Amino acid sequence: MHEMSLAEGILQIVEDAAARQDFKRVTEVRLEIGALSGVEAEALNFCLEVVLKGSVAEGARVVLERAPGRGWCLGCGETVEIQALYDPCPKCGGYQVQATGGTEMRVKDLLVE
Amino acid sequence: MCTVCGCGEGETRIEGHDHPHHDHGHSHDHPHEHAHEHVHADGTVHSHGHIHTHRHDHTDHDHAHSQLHEPGAPHYHEHHGESGNTLHYGLGPAHAHAPGLSQARMVRIEQDILGKNNTYAAGNRKHFAEHGIFAVNLVSSPGSGKTTLLVKTIEMLADKARVAVVEGDQQTSVDADRIRATGAPAIQVNTGKGCHLDAHMVGHALERLALPDDSLLMIENVGNLVCPAAFDLGEAHKVVILSVTEGEDKPLKYPDMFHAADLMLLNKVDLLPYLNFDVTKCVDFARRVNPKLQVMQVSATSGQGMEAWVAWLMGGLEQARTARLQNVDLLKQRIAELEARLAAQS
């Protein structure tokens, strides 16, 4: 999707936390990015590098955890793994799959000094 | 900068708002987070996360809670006004995540990257619920006929409902002027370099509109099939409008929007005889992305299918009104109970 601005959102969260928790440096930022969130990992990494420059998190290691895309297949009556919102069910090939997981975009935690 | 697409900020204008306004930049809210955990008698460790946000920019005082729980995950309590700036991380993912590193150096965040917008959206939603307002967020690409559809809808609802409109566009108040010509109140929000409306802008627009109870609020988002998908405005439903002069494969090209919507209006169907647009294929594509998507075929110019759309809106209004009245009943009941207690004590 639009990684530059997500990076800005992440920076805001990190800076808010720094003000509240009183830490001076962030060495690692761990993110949970769902497979169906539309976020390109490489692009986000690139943008974070730029956006975090000059902040408490400059040079921090960015760890991306990809939450798998999951959907409920009406045909099969079970949860299946999907890679995109428009993917068919890998079991029955039907399109009656309602995404149930993998759309999250969150900052999980920070390693700080 | 927009938290989704990186577009610029700072040129947002809301009609009647008398100072230049940075909708993303300035912050009137003060989230407080504190954590603490409980160990229950049975040894279960139990904790919850609350973020309390106080908003000072609206006439009413909003107090939003967002609970961030993951099923199966150990959760922790965060309480405003309690143990200062201390966070306990013993239960955090630090356990598995960074062996050898001091737990105290791990700060657990668990925040949605779009969390700030979601807090404002929750405030708007609460306002809608208290006033029986049925709010719909109309999203589409530019040129799908949103404004013409709105004008027609307002005309059809003239004797049936109170309607107000929030118009989102990068520039000009052309659309709001078109709406106001129908007699319905409208507020134009110019997003400047922004590519979508966010919940904070809508909150400000609500203050200006001062909607009466049981109104219909139609929010016409900026014409853009990407970014508005990610921004909850507090609406009851996102309604995506696709016109048959666009490609039938748009639901696959822009899946996020069709996934976020509850209803798709296929507009300009009066033009179908002149086009190579495969309605069945389009609906099929849309339902691949969102199997629960409801679809209506309409033409704002010929009026075809508009009755069904208006009936859908009236249904939503009725539900919102019923919910408000139930709330009022509950409050009255509560007041009676408290008065009875007071009488018993005096």
- Residues A2-26: tens digit of each pLDDT: 677 788 889 999 999 999 888 889 9
Q: Which of A87, A109, A110, A113 to mutate to test the interface with B (most CBs of B within 10 A)?
A: A109
Contact B107 A1 (CB under 8 A): no
| Closest chain A residue to the Cα of B249, Cα to Cα | A86
CB contact under 8 A, B113 and A74: no
pLDDT reported for residue B182: 93
| Predicted pLDDT of residue B7 | 56
Q: What is the pLDDT of residues A38-67, one digit of tens each?
A: 788 888 888 899 899 999 999 999 999 988
Q: What is the pTM of this model?
A: 0.72
pLDDT number for residue B17: 63
Task: Decide if A44 touches B, using CB distance below 8 A.
Answer: no
Using an 8 Å Cβ cutoff, are B235 and B135 in contact? yes
Q: Which CATH number fits domain A2-112: 1.20.1250.20, 3.30.360.10, 3.30.2320.80, 1.10.10.350?
A: 3.30.2320.80
pLDDT at position B219 = 96
As a whole number, the mean pLDDT across chain B is: 79
Q: Using the beta-carbon criterion (under 8 Å), do B113 and A1 form an inter-chain contact?
A: no
Across residues A27-34, what is the average pLDDT?
A: 93
Measure the CA–CA gap between B17 and B289, rounded to whole angstroms: 39
Reported as a single tens digit per residue, the pLDDT across B201-257 is: 999 999 999 999 999 999 999 999 988 888 899 999 999 999 999 999 999 999 999
ipTM over 0.90: no
Rounded mean pLDDT, B305-334 = 96
Q: Which of B97, B111, B285 to mutate to test the interface with A (most CBs of A within 10 A)?
A: B111
Q: What is the pLDDT of residues B128-183, one digit of tens each?
A: 999 999 999 999 999 999 999 999 999 999 999 999 999 999 888 999 999 999 99
Nearest C-alpha in A relative to B289: A86
Question: pLDDT-derived band of residue B6, with 50, 70 and 90 as boundaries?
Answer: low
Mutate to test the interface with B, among A86, A104, A105 (most CBs of B within 10 A): A86
How much is the pLDDT for B27? 41
Does residue A98 belong to the interface with chain B, where contact is any CB pair within 8 Å? yes
Taking a C-beta distance cutoff of 8 angstroms, is the pair A36, A82 a contact? yes
Average pLDDT over residues B291-310: 97
**A104 interface with B at CB cutoff 8 Å:** yes
Question: Does the pLDDT of residue B275 top 80, yes or no?
Answer: yes
B106 contacts in A (CB within 8 Å)?
109-112
B292 touches chain A (CB under 8 A): yes
Task: Please report, rounded to a whole number, the percentage of residues in chain B having pLDDT higher than 90.
Answer: 58
Among B41, B30, B49, smallest CA distance to B89 is for B49
Domain segments of chain A as ranges: 2-112
